[in-house]
Amino acid sequence: MKPILISLNDLDEKPCEKYYDYIIDNYGKDKLFNPLEIIKELNGNFEEVYWLITNCKKYQTKKMIDYYRLFNPKYWNISWLISECKICQTQKMLNYYKSLNPDYKDVLRLIKYCEYCQTDEMYKYLKSLIFFRVIK
C-alpha cells in the first residue's frame, strides 16, 4: 500500500501519549510522517489502525478498510467502525459484519447509534437474532 503522509494537524484527536511523544521526538509538531510505520515501530495492533481510520480523513479509504480487515477484528470492532466512519457505511461492510455472527446486543447498539443501520433489513436481522436466542 502506498504510504499516506500526514501531520498531527490531520488528526481529529490527539494520539495517546506514547504515540504523541514518539511523533514529536522524531518528526516535530508540523512535519509529515507515516502513521502506519509508527504503529509498526511501536508494536501497535489493529486497535491503533482503527483509531487512525476513525481520526484521520486521509486514512478513510477502501484500501485502509481492507487492510484493517486483515487483522481479523471482532464483530464489535466492525460495528464501531461502521457507526463512526461514513466510508464503512456500506452494504459490503454490513455483510462482513453479519458474517462475524454478532450478538443481538451489538446489533441493537449499532442500529440505535448509527442512522445508516436503521433500516428494515437490519431490524429484520435483529429480530432473527432475538428469535433464535429465545429458541435456544
Task: Quote the number of domains for the chain.
Answer: 1
What element of type H or E holds 31? none
- Residue 106 included in any domain: no
> So what's the pLDDT on residue 133?
56
The residue with greater pLDDT, 2 or 64, is 64
Domain extent at residue 66: 1-73
Q: How many Cα atoms occupy the beta-carbon half-sphere of 66 within 13 Å?
A: 4
| Residue predicted with more confidence, 131 or 62 | 62
- What's the pTM? 0.83
Whether residue 131 is contained in a domain is answered as no
**Amino acid at the residue 40:** K
